Structure 1
């Protein structure tokens, strides 16, 4: 009898252990997972070798010198136009544009089309952006396109009494203009005149003053800075005697406004030999 009881208890224990079998823990990875050693980034733009390069990484960025030349090529026409209309040397306009906008790459130029660092002032009713400058969170003017910034710059200088003495200077005297702007309070930087003059002389910007004044020299006709740096010659049209914006726009199936926007023109004035982007 004792043997039967012992056998019965043993069978019950075996059955009990089977019914309380612990959950299985597995170290097997999910289906489709495969371990691979991470690829070490060695390129300067932090993209791995396994990633196809984007367009921005395959195109070589412009150097500061090239960006400045491209800026001059893009805006020399509007600068010369403003010199004719308002009497501000084209060289000064371009130098200020380069300096104030970082050759078009600065925050204000990129986000607000403001190329001259012009603040809102009390009379400004247009769009605005805010940026730290001499004081935190200062108000700056925002434009829909860069040519409006160039026009507003001209209107600012011609409309404020403190700049009146500048217009009594000899036309094209960029050194006197650079010093006069600082004295009139355009900028607080004591080296502002030297910076403007440096840009003008490094990039021969006074050639544009001489074009407007009809004083181009043989040396200046051979300058290395092309009026349309980086623009395909097949996209340009050279103005001939008798051409008007209307006639040129019709020739290339554009509206006058489209032609003006392509070339940052703020008026309809043209001169023989001027090159316009038409494509």
Structure 2
């Protein structure tokens, strides 16, 4: 009897030990579940902080319309000028085209480097293929659907081809009879020679030159003294006679450097279209010193 009791106790003990094994397996499984958490932590170690590399100091915007419609900021245009001013001055020395005109055309035609043609084809001047073009090309809607535009391996080639284009075409010969730094004559001459169909093209170029002080690069080439532009006599007059009123008139606002129609409309709680209608404006181009009716 005593032996049977001992044997029974041994069997019970063995059964108890076997029933504890699932607990050990569960512990291992739980440990395995933790591995993805460790991997996630490591991945987070290599993530980059979100933020702009070059903080903007002036985020007011304006719309540039040429071969495409592009929204740009004041800072973006300044960055564009800083990047290409040396190429523009080099072309002025070599080909006799004002650096200010080159930069203003680059800003307008390429949307300060952000327009469709500039991004897809490094074409900063909206130059179409024409019969003598043997290089690569892209198709883009302009005056007609899917027109052929020149494509360049880099933007510098676009700048070089722009100079050769003006020098090599007989219709632009008159431009080279003007003074090298007479940007107003060049702006009007380009339109007269057929570079652009937009009747406002000269005014737009002159506006960029004067708002962003691009004439200083002409003066660096010619060695003449440069005086920063402050106010344009022609731009200070609106087509509406009310803008000739006293500068203290609360109904008028004088455009400051960096202003856009959008920023002014927000300041006076107006719609952009209403602001344009009040001042008989056909596009979004503004000039420093220009007076706008805002009430």
- Note closer, same or farther for the CA distance 1:81–1:163 as it changes in structure 2 (3 Å cut): same
- How far did 1:216 drift? 2.9
Corresponding residue pairs, total: 167
- Note closer, same or farther for the CA distance 1:173–1:56 as it changes in structure 2 (3 Å cut): farther
Q: TM-score, normalised by structure 2?
A: 0.54
Higher RCO (Cα < 8 Å, 6 or more apart): 1
- Note closer, same or farther for the CA distance 1:142–1:56 as it changes in structure 2 (3 Å cut): farther
Q: Which residue of structure 1 aligns with residue 192 of structure 2? A: 183
- How far did 1:100 drift? 0.2
Q: TM-score, normalised by structure 1?
A: 0.57
Q: Which residue of structure 1 aligns with residue 158 of structure 2? A: 149
1:65 to 2:74 alignment? yes
Secondary structure in 2 matching 1:144: coil
| RMSD of aligned alpha carbons | 1.9
1-structure distance, mates of 2:156, 2:193: 24
Q: Which residue of structure 2 aligns with residue 122 of structure 1? A: 131
- How far did 1:55 drift? 6.8
The match for 1:170 among 168, 179, 187 is 179
2-structure distance, mates of 1:119, 1:203: 27
- Note closer, same or farther for the CA distance 1:178–1:57 as it changes in structure 2 (3 Å cut): farther
Residue deviations 1:235-263, cap 9 Å, x none? Answer: xxxxxxxxxxxxxxxxxxxxxxxxxxxxx
- Note closer, same or farther for the CA distance 1:213–1:138 as it changes in structure 2 (3 Å cut): same
How do 1:1-279 residues align onto structure 2 when only pairs under 5 Å count?
58-59=51-52, 63=59, 64-217=73-226, 219-220=227-228
1-structure distance, mates of 2:138, 2:119: 12
- Note closer, same or farther for the CA distance 1:207–1:126 as it changes in structure 2 (3 Å cut): same
- Note closer, same or farther for the CA distance 1:56–1:193 as it changes in structure 2 (3 Å cut): farther
1-structure distance, mates of 2:76, 2:131: 34
- How far did 1:195 drift? 0.1
- How far did 1:57 drift? 6.0
Secondary structure in 2 matching 1:58: coil
Q: Which runs of 5+ in 1 are unaligned?
A: 1-53, 221-279
- Note closer, same or farther for the CA distance 1:79–1:120 as it changes in structure 2 (3 Å cut): same
